[in-house]
Amino acid sequence: MLKGKVVVLGVTGSIAAYKAADLASKLAQAGASVDVVMTPSATEFVTPLTFRSLTPGSVVVDMFEAAIEHVELARRADVVVVAPATATTIARLAHGLAEEMVSLTVLATKAPVLVCPAMDSQMFENPATQANLETLRARGMTIVGPEMGRLASGRMGAGRLPDSETILGAIRYVLGRGGDLAGRKVVVTAGGTREPIDPVRYVGNYSSGKMGYAVAEAARDRGADVVLVSAPTALATPSGVRLVSVQQAAEMRDAVVGECRDAQALVMAAAVADYQPSATAEQKMKRHTETLSLELTRTPDILAEAGKGFVRVGFAAESEELVANARRKLESKGLDLIVANDITGPESAFDADTNRVVILDRAGGEERLPVMTKYEVAQRILDRVVELLAKGS
């Protein structure tokens, strides 16, 4: 989604300016064309040469530089990202000043603007800064961060620039707003549920949640309103996605049923435990006996209970008879699509970043995809969802 997009990165005079170099590099790696504008104080922290070395685009500090017309980058931008944005820059933007290249570019652009504040927490909390941020928000700019943590002053507080991944996610979200899922609500489930045995143990599975998170990100990048119902994972919540955290299958069912009432699509990538302990011990179980039997009870079938009237996509992780088993599930669960993956191959293992899948549809179609990243797989699944939505509407 970033491929071929022009991102104008505005860097201002905060110690976090060095992190903007990483952001520029990641944007360029993702295929964006990156132009950089810097305030003179930003150059005290990091040099224009740093950015020139990381991206082939322009790097402009001087508003009066003859090589490029002063509003050229503002016109060319698909999105303008000010990261880090100091309190001073935020004040300039709120007041429509054009005192240097960053505020000038924001003033002159018609593209969406993302502002990522980074400063000491006392400056951030000051009512002047808060009011200025509110002004920017009211004008439709997207504010990303700041995050809590240790600041350059040594104090703890709100003021840290979010990491590059978070900012990249926010850029993708903003760029995707007009995509082919704009105005559609997509519910995605992810992760492996945990069914408690006692206060310290659970029945779980190896699911990493990566496939479901990739679907959530891809749907966001196409403009959907995404709700991610997630069992515990080690993954960061994607920017621009609403997270509903759950533990057990029963909680996931309740969340999915509630969220699907006004959704247009459900993608069930979660590895839902099929059974849960019939009873959960209130106290930690002791190691007194030689053997221990656990009685398990079947969990609710979430797809079956989720309701109707929206596109329903299931996953089938199989270790044998991939297509036959998946087709049986597609039919018994009445799904529109099922994504079958053979979990025995290294490229489709639970924690892998890639997957090899076959997408089966109701009409008997079988789309065999080569090994690709989970994000690419997610995009292919969503291509099919978009097709189904177009037919249905």
Q: Which of 314, 360, 375, 378 binds ligand CTP (CB under 6 A)?
A: 314
Q: What are phi and psi of 95, to 5 degrees?
A: -100, 5
Work out how close the CB of 314 gets to ligand CTP at its nearest, in angstroms, rounded to a whole number: 3
Task: Write out the chain in H/E/C secondary structure.
Answer: CCCCCEEEEEECCCCCHHHHHHHHHHHHHCCCEEEEEECCCHHHHCCHHHHHHHCCCCEECCCCCCCCCCCHHHHHCCEEEEEEECHHHHHHHHHCCCCCHHHHHHHHCCCCEEEEECCCHHHHHCHHHHHHHHHHHHCCCEECCCEEEECCCCCEEEEECCCHHHHHHHHHHHHHCCCCCCCCEEEEEECECCEEEECCEEECCCCCCHHHHHHHHHHHHCCCEEEEEECCCCCCCCCCCEEEECCCHHHHHHHHHHHHCCCCEEEECCECCCEEECCCCCCCCCCCCCCCCCCEEECCCHHHHCCCCCEEEEEEEECCCHHHHHHHHHHHCCCCEEEEEECCCHHHCCCCCEECEEEEECCCCEEECCCEEHHHHHHHHHHHHHHHHHHHC
Q: Is 362 in the site for ligand CTP (CB under 6 A)?
A: no
Nearest to 209 by CA among 228, 194, 190: 190
Cβ nearer to ligand CTP, comparing 257 with 371: 257
Q: Is 301 in the site for ligand CTP (CB under 6 A)?
A: yes
Cβ nearer to ligand CTP, comparing 94 with 316: 316
Work out how close the CB of 9 gets to ligand CTP at its nearest, in angstroms, rounded to a whole number: 39
Work out how close the CB of 341 gets to ligand CTP at its nearest, in angstroms, rounded to a whole number: 10
Work out how close the CB of 326 gets to ligand CTP at its nearest, in angstroms, rounded to a whole number: 8
Work out how close the CB of 70 gets to ligand CTP at its nearest, in angstroms, rounded to a whole number: 54
Cβ nearer to ligand CTP, comparing 32 with 316: 316
Q: Which stretch binds ligand CTP (CB under 6 A): 2-10, 101-109, 312-320, 345-353?
A: 312-320
Cβ nearer to ligand CTP, comparing 46 with 303: 303
- Single out the catalytic residue among 126, 132, 205, 355: 205
Q: Which of 202, 213, 310, 315 binds ligand CTP (CB under 6 A)?
A: 315
Q: How far is CA 57 from the centre of its chain?
A: 26
Q: Is 249 in the site for ligand CTP (CB under 6 A)?
A: yes
Residues from 185 through 244 that contact ligand CTP (CB under 6 A): none
The token pair at 285 is: 């179980």
Amino acid identity at 18: Y
Q: How far apart are CA 201 and CA 212, in angstroms?
A: 24
Cβ nearer to ligand CTP, comparing 274 with 383: 274
Cβ nearer to ligand CTP, comparing 176 with 192: 192
Q: Which of 303, 311, 358, 359 binds ligand CTP (CB under 6 A)?
A: 303
Cβ nearer to ligand CTP, comparing 329 with 362: 329
Say whether 205 is catalytic: yes
Work out how close the CB of 372 gets to ligand CTP at its nearest, in angstroms, rounded to a whole number: 20
What are the Cα distances from residue 299, in Å, to 109, 252, 275? Answer: 53, 11, 5
Q: Mask 257-296, x = binds ligand CTP (CB under 6 A)?
A: -----------x-x-x-x----------------------
Q: Which stretch binds ligand CTP (CB under 6 A): 37-45, 161-169, 286-294, 301-309?
A: 301-309
Cβ nearer to ligand CTP, comparing 36 with 268: 268
Work out how close the CB of 317 gets to ligand CTP at its nearest, in angstroms, rounded to a whole number: 6
Q: Which stretch binds ligand CTP (CB under 6 A): 147-155, 177-185, 280-288, 313-321?
A: 313-321
Work out how close the CB of 335 gets to ligand CTP at its nearest, in angstroms, rounded to a whole number: 8
Nearest to 352 by CA among 339, 337, 371: 371
Residues from 319 through 358 that contact ligand CTP (CB under 6 A): 329
Q: Among all residues, which ones are annotated catalytic?
A: 205
Name the residues that contact ligand CTP, by CB under 6 A.
Answer: 249, 268, 270, 272, 274, 299-303, 314-317, 329
